[in-house]
Structure formats: structure tokens, C-alpha cells
Amino acid sequence: MLVFRDPQKLQRWALKQREAGVRVGLVPTMGYLHEGHLSLIAAAKKYADAVVVSVFVNPIQFGPNEDFEKYPRDEKADLAKCRAAGAAAVFLPTPQTMYAPDASVHVTEEVLANRLCGLRRPGHFRGVCTVVAKLFNLAQPNVAVFGQKDFQQACVIRRMVRDLNFPIRIVVAPIVREPDGLARSSRNTYLSETERQQAVGLSRSLHLAKRLFREGQTSAKRIVARMVKSLEADGLQVDYVEIVDAETLDPVKTVQKGNAVLLAVYDGKTRLIDNCLFS
């Protein structure tokens, strides 16, 4: 497995792969890899001959009061996991190698990014779009795999690919959950034992939403109200719960198959997100 720290070296290698007809897959991550990430690597291998995993805690997608500094990192374990998962290369840049001191170019998405998490985390998706555009240009992938866990992010990236004409197929892989239903997340390490127990409330509320819909409830307002009640009963502080069109992220009043329900809550001081599609 190749390990690249220098962006230019990754790019030279990637361009050679493309010229040689090798299909490159990219899995962009912030590291501290868990089963969720490994499922993305596995998905990428289905579409690509060589999978590049980028591990980069991207400073420009964190707000000033967010957890950039304390975000968990474990390079050694990440490398071992990528090797075991069959990655062809790992890209380990630093903020210094990724951003010139006078960097002044950003990629912005101005509709999908101004909802949900985007409203609560100003600049977050601008940071995401910018770093992903950079990673696309550096790793030259034919396909890039993102997790459904970050549902809004996947929508924004798909829109970026469409609007900037990146020749890249975007694959969104299903959420990987703990046995009790909690979506895998590097941020779960922040949780105390009590908080970890409360955290099952997120997936519980999603199950409730799906059950209500199956039983005939189509009022988004009523489903959301029941979910909020359930989340609060589980000791979680609701940031938002919304039912939206899965592509445009427009809020819906009457729930239909294919709509998505997205939620963000605080579990103690830790902000957790989760989502599912109505089927």
C-alpha cells in the first residue's frame, strides 16, 4: 500500500493511473476509521481498480467553536485498517500541505448547503466542497464514495459534481450501525457511558418515523412531533428534525416514499446526526 503525504506526489501517481487506464476510487475521510469507513472502501473496490483513502481532518469545515482540535486522530491504526481493507493508497496531507497561507479560492453550494446542518454550521459545506474539489483534482478518481450518514453532504457533493462537471461517479453507501442501532461515527468516542446509552434514541426515533409512515401517517408535522417527543424522552436535546425531498432537501408537508428524515441532536455536549429514507 502506498502512503502519500505530499499532494503533488499523489497527483502525479493518480494521473499515471488514469493514463494507464486504471480506474481510481476515492474514499475521503477524516480518519479515526471505523466499520462505516471500511464499508466505503469495500464499496469503492466494486467500482475501481485502485482505491485511495484520504485521511484529513479538514480545518476549514470546522467552525471556530467546533471540535477541530479535539477531533480524534490515530494515523497508525488508520493505516493498518486501510491496508487490511485492501486500499491501494492512503493520502495523509496536513493543513499546511493542503492550504497555502494565502489560499483564497473556495467552492460554494448556495441552496442545499443553506439548510439543516448548513444553517447551524455556517461555512461548513463551503469547507467540505472546497476540500473535496481539491481531493478530486489530486486523486483523479473515476468514482468517489461517501456515506449516507452525512446525507446532506452527499447531496451537496452530488450537486457540486453536476454543476462543475467533474467526470466522477458519486456512490453513496448505506449507514453502518452498532448492534443497538447507533450509527457509527468517529464522534461517538466523545460519549460518556450514559450518553452512549441515550444515543440509541436517534435510531429509535427513525424507527418510530418509519413505523408511523407504514401505518399510514403522512403528515410530516405529526411524524416530526412524535420523533421530537421520543428524542427528548431519551434525554437528547433536539437541534433539528426535518422531513425533506431526498434530492433537493426541500421540506415536505406530506411524506412520500423516497423522502428522507434527517435529524441532529445534542447528546450531552456531543452533536450527533442520523437519517433514513421512507420506503
Residue positions annotated with a catalytic role: 37
Number of residues that bind its own copies (CB under 8 A): 35
**Residues 179-238 contacting its own copies, CB under 8 A:** none
- Closer to its own copies at the Cβ: 164 or 233? 164
Residues β-bridged to residue 72 = none
Q: Is 26 in the site for its own copies (CB under 8 A)?
A: no
CB 21, min distance to its own copies, A: 6
What b/e string do you get for 44-72 counting C-beta neighbours within 10 Å, with b at 16 or more?
bbebbebbbbbbbbbebbbeeeeebeebe
CB 236, min distance to its own copies, A: 32
Helix (H, G, I), strand (E, B) or coil at 2: strand
CA atoms within 13 A on the CB side of 142: 15
Helix (H, G, I), strand (E, B) or coil at 189: helix
Chosen residue from 52, 87, 92, 138 binding its own copies by CB under 8 A: 138
CB 165, min distance to its own copies, A: 4
Q: Spell out, one character per residue from 165 to 184, where the chain touches its own copies: x when CB under 8 A holds, - when not.
A: xxx-----------------
Residue 62 sits at φ, ψ, to 5 deg, of -100, 140
Q: Is 96 in the site for its own copies (CB under 8 A)?
A: no
Give the Cα separation of 88 and 102 in Å (integer).
32
Q: What does the DSSP 8-state code read for residue 247?
A: T
Residues β-bridged to residue 187 = none
Q: Spell out, one character per residue from 237 to 266, where the chain touches its own copies: x when CB under 8 A holds, - when not.
A: -----------x------------------
Give the Cα separation of 230 and 20 in Å (integer).
54
Chosen residue from 5, 6, 18, 66 binding its own copies by CB under 8 A: 18
**Residues 105-124 contacting its own copies, CB under 8 A:** 105-112
241's enclosing H/E stretch is strand 237-244
Q: Is 47 in the site for its own copies (CB under 8 A)?
A: no
Residues β-bridged to residue 276 = 261
CB 65, min distance to its own copies, A: 23
Q: What is the binding site for its own copies (CB under 8 A)?
A: 7, 11, 15, 18-19, 21, 99-100, 102-112, 129-130, 133-134, 137-138, 140, 159-160, 162-167, 248
